[in-house]
Structure 1
Amino acid sequence: MKPRAGAKPTFHVKPDLAELERCALALPGATLDVKWGDVRVACVDGRMFATFHREVVAYKVAPDDFLALSGLPGVRPAPYLARARWIAVSDCSALTMTDLKAGLATSWKLVVQKLPRARRAFYGL
């Protein structure tokens, strides 16, 4: 299939999963686990806050941001986790690595905020 005349070429930029994993593991209490065969999962206090699998990073977002983010190019509701307001990013043309790292930190915070009070205090929230 040929591109239309005058159409801008599209460039797909895959997220750097290794860098994003390092960023996720730098967050307080974060651990990395392997689930469902080969999906690398970042957890805090045993609860997932990000997944890394086949050039796709998925993480939890604030309910107010879910619709706006999931409508961006290369971003979609995460399979099986969309009802919990997770997005899956397969192309960084709409989000920069800085945006993705901030998203991981926000996801971590959203998950920690749901922990019991004593555990939240342990993590400084």
Structure 2
Amino acid sequence: MDRDGFNAFCARFPAAEHVVQWGNSDVWKAGGKLFAVCGWAEGRDAFTFKAGEIAFEVLQERPGVRPAPYLASRGMKWLQQFDNNGLTDTELKEQISLSYQMVTAKLSKKKRVELGIPDPQPAER
């Protein structure tokens, strides 16, 4: 995935807000809460997203994926794909979608309704 594809994908989420900050990073938020970032790492695009407990442990073992600088160092479960050999585009999109869901699930029901964000889906058993 490249930066344009990342931005197009993130823009599809209800109430997604785009800002450019942190030295020309594309930052995506919903309800004021961060769910994805595209910035630079070692001269190429790097994609950062929130991860669940298991995904955080498993995916950081993959080549090209690491705990996200700054965010993970503060105990948060965020990962960064910094090299193309990390996740496939499909896997990256799935992780960004899950990040969005985790972030928006923490918003109040009133805020989700106000922003047109669907209620969180129950986890499959």
Q: Name the TM tier (shorter chain).
A: 0.7 to 0.9
The 2-side partners of 1:64 and 1:117 are apart by 26
- The Cα shift of 1:117 comes to 2.1
What is the aligned partner in structure 1 of residue 87 from structure 2? 95
C-alpha RMSD over aligned residues? 1.3
The 1-side partners of 2:32 and 2:65 are apart by 26
What stretches of structure 2 of length at least 5 have no aligned partner?
120-125
- The Cα shift of 1:37 comes to 2.8
What is the aligned partner in structure 1 of residue 118 from structure 2? 124
**Is 1:18 the counterpart of 2:4 in the alignment?**
yes
Residues 61-97 of structure 1 show CA distances to partners (whole Å, capped at 9, x for unaligned) of 1112101011110000001111221100012323110
The 2-side partners of 1:95 and 1:36 are apart by 24
Match of 1:76 among 58, 66, 70: 66
**Is 1:112 the counterpart of 2:112 in the alignment?**
no
- The Cα shift of 1:120 comes to 3.2
The 1-side partners of 2:47 and 2:33 are apart by 16
For normalisation by structure 1, the TM-score amounts to: 0.82
What is the aligned partner in structure 2 of residue 63 from structure 1? 53
**Is 1:34 the counterpart of 2:28 in the alignment?**
no
Q: Which has the larger radius of gyration?
A: 1
The 2-side partners of 1:90 and 1:96 are apart by 12
What stretches of structure 1 of length at least 5 have no aligned partner?
1-14
For normalisation by structure 2, the TM-score amounts to: 0.82
- The Cα shift of 1:33 comes to 0.4
